[in-house]
Structure 1
Amino acid sequence: MTIQATLELMRELRLHGMLEALTQQQEQPTYSGLGFEQRLAHLVNAESSHRDTQRLQRLLKNAKLKYQATPEAIDYRHSRGLDRELMAELLTSSWIDRQQNLLITGLTGTGKTWLGCALGVQAARRGYSVLYKRTARLLEEMDVAHKDGSIAKIRGQLAKTRLLILDDFGLSVMNVRARSDLLELLDDRVGTGSTMMLGQMPVKDWHSFINDPALADAILDRLIHSSHRISLKGDSMRKQQPTVSSS
């Protein structure tokens, strides 16, 4: 088989990482001095790296994060209530393996959404499926799904997502169906995934906000049990860093 035929076969088999690496080997004389095993290892490593990159890009696309924030850009300089030790643990994403939740609260502009998205990016880097949704928007979608018969499908998709990020919790009053849907959503995720809740309202006020003692007890039991908490403080990050969007 000629080298051109090999390249074509790699393209047909979608071995794009290997294809690029083999083309590189053909073009650069540096590789001519390497043995067969070394050149083969280079091709295999290139294909593995390519697939990892493709997987990450797919996970990030499906996550629909509001910001493509990066963990490396997290700002610890301002007095926002960020505990470096806790952040170091969260960035390992081991809490997702343990199906634990994360509750991030703080006034508008303190960086809740940006920080949540940065942790979402890190989770995707670790290979976890991630999905970002505004709480009110998701509950609206579930309400529509009840009417068109697709609610079971949506619940199934949400249950399988390893990290579900629900932003702006507490901004919109929930009706009876919304409260029930939120409970069902969280119940489906017990033992299967982690939920990150972002909101301006302190956690201590969530029970009264839900405005149904029985459902509030059930919802908070599933959210708060074995959860990590971050309470962001300080002035708006928009004032301190006008080029960085936070909410």
Structure 2
Amino acid sequence: MMTHDTLRKLHAMKLFGMARGFEEQLASTTAGPLSFEERLGLLVDQEFTWRESRRLQRLLQAAKLRESAACIEDIDYRPGRGLERSEMASLSLCNWVGQGHNILVTGPTGSGKTWLACALGNQVCRQGLSVNFIRLPLLLEDLAVSHGDGSFRKRLTQLSKVDLLILDDFGMATMNAGGRNDLLEVIECRCGVRSTLITSQLPVDRWHDYLSGGNPTVADAILDRLVSGSHRLELKGESMRKQRNRKTGPA
């Protein structure tokens, strides 16, 4: 009866990890010889682990990573891809996020830009930081609509608070003057405070032409905030999709 009451109270206080650990100790024959301090320590550890796991699940769900299974440990370092183990090991520490630095990932179609961005996003979530993944064309569409319904400032505030904003497919769609101005506002509210990761098929030296559209001043402002002090990852080699298809195709 007392055990049941204890479990009920643990659940009422939302100490679900501790409740599970308590039940496991009751069912285990190895917990008996442990001291009170040792058993309590195990319960606290299980509660902490449970909460950390739940927080990671919430962060990953909110991140909406396109490649949800991508992770740093599975990066393909085969020769010719343009990835260095030492550089990725440094980036996996996520110090660049705390410093508000950006990452620019470029490369041809199928080279694994989006997958790598998601792997870095996954790693940032593991550090307990917030991530938001979105294709840039869709973000610009959303922002254009938000001007009409009066929610633009609210949306901008939301974007400014995310520790890592991943903008996928930069340069894939034509950008009008409104889109350029909205992108500048997004980058401006994050510059030096929050990190932005951009993937693009366009080499960085062609970004100014893409962004200018007759207004080089806006292009200069965007690139100055994005490129200065950023980490650049230039992927190379054959399409990863073609390689996967060969592996899964008929023998």
Normalised by the length of structure 1, the TM-score is 0.97
Question: Which amino acid in structure 1 is aligned with residue 47 of structure 2?
Answer: E
- Distance of 1:169 and 1:243 partners within structure 2: 28
TM-superposed deviation, 1:238: 1.1
Counterpart of 2:65 in structure 1 is 65
Mapping of residues 102-181 of structure 1, within 5 Å: 102-181=103-182
Please show how residues 33-44 of structure 1 align to structure 2 within 5 Å. 33-44=33-44
Task: State yes or no: 1:220 paired with 2:223.
Answer: yes
Partner Cα distance (2:138, 2:218) in 1: 20
Q: Which residue of 1 aligns with 2:82?
A: 81
**2:11 aligns to what?**
11
Runs of 5+ consecutive residues of structure 1 not aligned to the other structure: none
2:42 partner amino acid: H
- State the number of aligned residues: 244
Q: Which residue is equivalent to 2:22?
A: 22
Distance 1:132 1:186 in 2: 15
Pairwise CA distance, 1:241:
2.2
**In structure 2, the residue corresponding to 1:115 is in which secondary structure?**
helix
Aligned AA (2:9) = L
Q: Distance in 2 between matches of 1:89 and 1:118?
A: 14
The aligned residue for residue 237 of structure 2 is: 234
1:127-181 residue CA offsets vs partner (Å, 9 max, x unmatched): 1100000001001000000100111111011000000000000011111110000
Deviation at 1:11, TM superposition (A): 0.6
1:145 and 1:105, CA in 2 relative to 1: closer, same or farther beyond 3 A? same
Provide the identity percentage.
48
Deviations 1:14-65 (A, max 9, x none): 1110010000000001001100000000000000000000000000000000
Q: Is the 8 A contact 1:160 1:192 kept in 2?
A: no
* Whole-angstrom distance in 2 between the partners of 1:187 and 1:97: 17
Specify the SS of the correspondent of 2:100. coil
**Rounded Cα–Cα distance in structure 1 between residues aligned with 2:226 and 2:165:** 12
Q: SS of the counterpart of 1:167? A: strand
Cα distance in 1 for residues equivalent to 2:67 and 2:246: 13
Alignment RMSD, CA only?
1.2
TM-score normalised to the size of structure 2?
Answer: 0.95
SS state at 2:31 partner: helix
